[in-house]
Amino acid sequence: MTSQSPPPERAIAPQQQADDVGLDTMLRPQRLTQFTGQDRLKDNLRILIEAARARGETLDHVLFHGPPGLGKTTLAQVVANEMNANIRHTAGPAIEHSGDLAAILSNMRTGDILFIDEVHRLSRPVEEILYPAMEDFVLDLIVGKGPGAKNVRLKLPRFTVIGATTRLALMTAPLRARFGAVYRMDFYDQAAMETIVERGARILDVPIAAEGTAEIARRARGTPRVALRLLRRVRDYAQVRSDGAITHATAVAALDLMEIDALGLDDLDRRVLRAIIEKFNGGPVGLETIAASISEESDTIMDVVEPYLLQLGFLERTSRGRTATAHAYRHLNLPIPDTAPRTVQPGLFGNSEEAS
């Protein structure tokens, strides 16, 4: 397997800009050299890839876990590009029956990559088919029914499974154990977010000032997916309300119009915090109760809202439920009760912030 130079990045033609799905594809890096942030993870991946290529072997099974929007799917595609391998995409909920997975596996070729998003949502019967496929590269099928049924074992070519999950704890231990490389993805720091916004603006061919870049990056919750979404919406605002260039003032006006505050909290984040504080006296309160009180899905709160609020130090998880910290009261300009936690919490980008 020979390495290829990174494909040149280019501006998107005007006729392409109407399709956000197409934009998402264009804005995603294709090589490790283009992927910003997650430096330790990239170093480990680079070693894994170079060693496999030097030995002429298929890559070991890889698992990425962490909050949504940090680039797990993108990294899977990057790994496939670095290995010059074909990649097939599926998701845990899409594989309803063991026969569905058997059909996918029987069509794999040597060196192919099978990417399974939301791998924690695979059903147990499907997992039972996946275990021997990952470990021994065989497919066990039951042919027939009743007393005449028999087990047929088919040999599979050596392939790689890349899994992605936002809920590592929900994966069964046997499935986790079959991944030879497990990597956690963390929120990105301000410098990395600015680089991502700058690259996105360059591909979108939109003029942007350094201050505008910094403002979008600051409000993007340390998440590339959010940063690129905000960049597209600020670009729209600049085109309609300004001269098309993104300045600091334009970025602030556009983001304020979208009700995204200086720390990147949106309406849902603030509703969760206000529900805990105003409806349940600051907590502790259970996740399902919070979800019911604001008519939102508990999974959305757990996967999308909570990780960022915990990272900011706005929430604490206790055995009895979620509790709002003094830092959250201060951010919402609410009086801080004596019962609010006042511990030192890590800031989003590693800075300690006193929550008292």
Positions annotated as catalytic residues are 72-73, 117, 166, 225
Which one-letter amino acid corresponds to residue 70? L
Distance CA 77, CA 225 (A): 16
Number of Cβ atoms within 10 Å of the Cβ of 27? 23
Q: What is the CA radius of gyration of the chain?
A: 23
Looking up tokens 């206000």 gives: 274
At what angle are helices 210-218 and 248-257 packed, to 10 degrees?
A: 30
Q: Judge contact between 314 and 305, C-beta under 8 A.
A: no
Residue 118 tokens read as: 């939301």
- What is the DSSP-derived secondary structure letter of residue 169? G
Task: Determine contact, residues 276/292, Cβ cutoff 8 Å.
Answer: no
**Cis? peptide before 6, omega within 30° of 0:** no
Strands (E), 59-143: 62-65, 87-91, 113-117, 138-143
- CA dist., res. 308 & res. 129, Å (int): 36
Q: Using CA atoms, how far apart are residues 103 and 280, in angstroms rounded to an integer?
A: 50
Of 189, 205, 207, the C-alpha closest to 350 is 189
Going by their DSSP bridges, the two strands 150-155 and 160-165 should be labelled as unpaired
